[in-house]
Amino acid sequence: MSFTTSAFAKSAIVALAAATVALAGAPASAATIADPETTAQLRCGYYRDANGNWYGHCDAPPRTDVIIRVESYTGNYDMCVKPGLTKLDPFAHGAYYVGRLCSAG
């Protein structure tokens, strides 16, 4: 017995997989940048560049604010972030989504 999958079902599976990956992250006194032009090129999750430590919260409507755990040499802490880029403290060495929502205002 063989099964075939329609093009519609395949595209629905791909869309669901992409949404699952985006939600798995996968974060607010820090500066947050969010506009359509910026989010099109947004790097998701924690990263470091020449300008500092960042967390990119990739989101699609409806907007969700999330809590991230920031790992810092001065002590770990939780932070509520809006969609877009959030600059982290200079001693941060990692950050990740903890699976909870919040209200960043």
The pLDDT, as a whole number, for residue 104 is 82
Cα 61 to the center of its chain, rounded Å: 13
The pLDDT, as a whole number, for residue 42 is 80
pLDDT (tens digit per residue) in 47-78: 999 999 999 999 888 899 999 999 999 999 99
What is the gyration radius of the CA atoms in the chain, in angstroms?
16
- 23 CB neighbour count, 10 Å cutoff: 15
DSSP 8-state code for residue 43: P
